[in-house]
Amino acid sequence: LPFSIVFFHASLQGWGWTSLGINIGLDIAAPLYDLGQVTTNAMGEAQLSATVPAALLHQTVWVQCWEGNIYGPEASSNALELVVY
């Protein structure tokens, strides 16, 4: 949705259900690391740039984001499994 807030999270634990509320959650396991939040543009697109700590080199990281407003979560993205290079 245009001009919505998107929250980005990462996990080092892998796949798993992390509830965000009734009938909505993330497909990555807790504990979650907060990578930041951004507001979508007029097309509903969001992107985030983040510095990855050197300790994560060659580690697998699972990332996912969700969209929400003052009333709570509305939707979540597909989760990605990435190796840090």
What pLDDT digit, counting tens, does each position of 13-38 carry?
A: 999 999 988 888 999 999 999 999 99
In a 10 Å sphere around its CB, with 0-12 CB exposed, 13-18 middle and 19+ buried, how is residue 66 labelled? Answer: buried
Q: What is the pLDDT of residue 68?
A: 87
pTM for the model: 0.88
Mean pLDDT of the region 45-64: 93
Can you tell me which residue has the tokens 């499994």? Answer: 81
